[in-house]
């Protein structure tokens, strides 16, 4: 199909003579600047219903995009729809700007559209999804091995508020895997070190830092307003406490754990789906004896392993906020770093679970340290 191609200068001349100029880029692209006088109509919308914006098929129509490719495709669609005087602007808005032609820049949050431009191009995210992320509040317990990669990518993704809880301080032995922290911040509370790093990456994210050990006395205060809770803890008492609190408050819990060369990830969402989605206690009704589950300080851990597991946790949290994809609810994902293999175990809700069984009243918090000590 032979579509007329014109320069930006020719387009400006025809625009001033009465032709309609239509910018067929997406709305998030146009906010950074568009040809003065252009109508903003995304290509898909224009092709779906061209006559709502351009009722006269005999009137001259000029189409412009970023560099000329999409406008040419849109022009072909208009010609097929019966429009007779259609032209595409070669070089698009990029060339229009380079030639110094009149440009309109809306009064908008440029940082938002620049920073998240790659998200905005995904139909599954777009501006509506990015605004969901911006309004979201995620509570992350632990600012160590798992919290470091999860925190970095959640902040980069534009989560509006990150609540960090950890009572530990940065130690030199942490730096092999806990990438939020630096040698210069040894001795600093981990949540403060994390706040510095995450704010430097994305100053638009609000960081609420609590240098506290999570206990039954403060857990609800820390997670009550969260949309998603991330378990970055390294001990069983906190894992069971977080599970129970999330079941009681109806919060999805993104679980992660690492040991030597292996890791696990899942989503426990029993609080919102009683009797169907399992909780952590459905998987581990009782904690293993201490000698069977040494922590990282005792058993060691491959430094990159928490990076893999923490990134998977961040991915699950973002999917939950967006309402996209299939979460790990009801599935336990195992990762073997030495074999470079993933395997999956299906999980079922325990109908006799003391915490999440359908119709069961919340039994109250227990002495989790004593419980895990056997």
Quick one: which of 4, 12, 3, 13 has its CA closest to 96? 12
Q: Are 268 and 229 in contact (CB under 8 A)?
A: no
CATH node for 118-373: 3.40.50.720
Residues near 167 by beta carbon (within 8 Å), at least 6 away in sequence: 189, 211, 212, 213
Mean of pLDDT over the chain: 94
**Can you give the residue ranges of every domain in the chain?**
4-108, 118-373
- Is residue 295 over pLDDT 80? no
Q: What pLDDT does residue 169 have?
A: 97
Q: Give me the mean pLDDT over the 174-184 stretch.
A: 97
Q: How confident is the model over 11-39, as pLDDT tens digits?
A: 999 999 999 999 999 988 898 899 999 99
What per-residue confidence (pLDDT) applies to 294? 63
Tens digits of residue pLDDT in 305-342:
999 999 999 999 999 999 999 999 999 999 999 999 99
pLDDT at 272: 95
For the question of residue 296 being annotated catalytic, the response is yes
Of 67, 74, 58, nearest to 19 by C-alpha is: 58
Q: What pLDDT score was predicted for residue 1?
A: 72
Does residue 188 surpass a pLDDT of 90?
Answer: yes
- Tell me which of 279, 296, 353, 356 is the catalytic residue: 296
Over residues 80-94, the pLDDT tens digits come to 999 999 999 999 999
For domain 4-108, give the CATH superfamily.
Rhodanese-like domain (3.40.250.10)
Q: By percentage, how much of the chain surpasses pLDDT 90? A: 87
Question: Cα(225)–Cα(160) distance, rounded to whole angstroms?
Answer: 13
H/E stretch holding 344 reads: strand 341-346
CA-CA distance, 112 to 220, in Å (whole number)?
32
Would you say residue 46 has pLDDT above 90? yes
Question: Average pLDDT for residues 102-123, to the nearest whole number?
Answer: 90
Amino acid 370: pLDDT: 86
From 28, 72, 13, select the one nearest 47 (Cα to Cα): 72
Higher pLDDT pick, 121 / 247: 247
Entry pTM = 0.83
Say if residues 218 and 200 touch (Cβ distance below 8 Å): no
Structure tokens at 351: 């109908």
Spatial separation of the C-alpha atoms in residues 344 and 28, rounded to whole Å: 38
pLDDT, residue 298, reads 67
Q: Where are the alpha helices (DSSP H) in 108-189?
A: 110-115, 117-120, 126-135, 147-157
């Amino acid at each position: 199909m032979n579509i007329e191609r014109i320069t930006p200068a020719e387009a400006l001349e025809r625009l001033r003579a009465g032709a309609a100029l239509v910018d067929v880029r997406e709305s998030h692209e146009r906010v950074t600047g568009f040809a003065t006088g252009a109508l903003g109509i995304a290509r898909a919308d224009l092709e779906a219903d061209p006559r709502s914006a351009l009722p006269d098929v005999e009137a001259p129509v000029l189409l412009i995009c970023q560099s000329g490719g999409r406008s040419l495709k849109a022009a072909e669609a208009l010609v097929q729809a019966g429009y007779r005087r259609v032209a595409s602007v070669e070089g698009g808005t990029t060339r229009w700007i380079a030639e110094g032609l009149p440009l309109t820049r809306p009064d908008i949050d440029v940082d938002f559209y620049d920073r998240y431009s790659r998200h905005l191009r995904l139909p599954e995210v777009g501006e509506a999804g990015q605004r969901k992320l911006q309004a979201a509040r995620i509570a992350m317990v632990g600012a160590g091995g798992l919290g470091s990669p999860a925190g970095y990518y959640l902040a980069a993704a534009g989560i509006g508020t990150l609540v960090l809880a950890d009572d530990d301080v940065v130690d030199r032995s942490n730096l092999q895997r806990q990438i939020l922290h630096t040698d210069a911040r040894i001795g600093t509370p981990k949540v403060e070190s994390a706040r510095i790093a995450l704010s430097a990456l994305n100053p638009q994210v609000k960081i609420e830092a609590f240098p506290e050990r999570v206990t039954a006395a403060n857990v609800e205060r820390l997670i009550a307003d969260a949309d998603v809770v991330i378990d970055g803890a390294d001990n069983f008492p906190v894992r069971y406490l977080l599970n129970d609190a999330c079941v009681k408050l109806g919060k999805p819990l993104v679980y992660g754990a690492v040991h030597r060369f292996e890791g696990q990830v899942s989503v426990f969402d029993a609080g919102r789906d009683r009797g169907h989605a399992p909780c952590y206690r459905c998987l581990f009704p009782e904690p293993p004896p201490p000698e069977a589950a040494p922590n990282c300080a005792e058993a060691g851990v491959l430094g990159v392993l928490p990076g893999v597991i923490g990134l998977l946790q961040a991915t699950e949290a973002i999917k939950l906020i967006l309402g996209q994809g299939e979460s790990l609810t009801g599935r336990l994902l195992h990762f073997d770093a030495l074999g470079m293999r993933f395997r999956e175990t299906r999980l079922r809700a325990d109908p006799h679970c003391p915490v999440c069984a359908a119709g069961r009243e919340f039994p109250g918090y227990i002495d989790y340290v004593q419980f895990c000590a056997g």
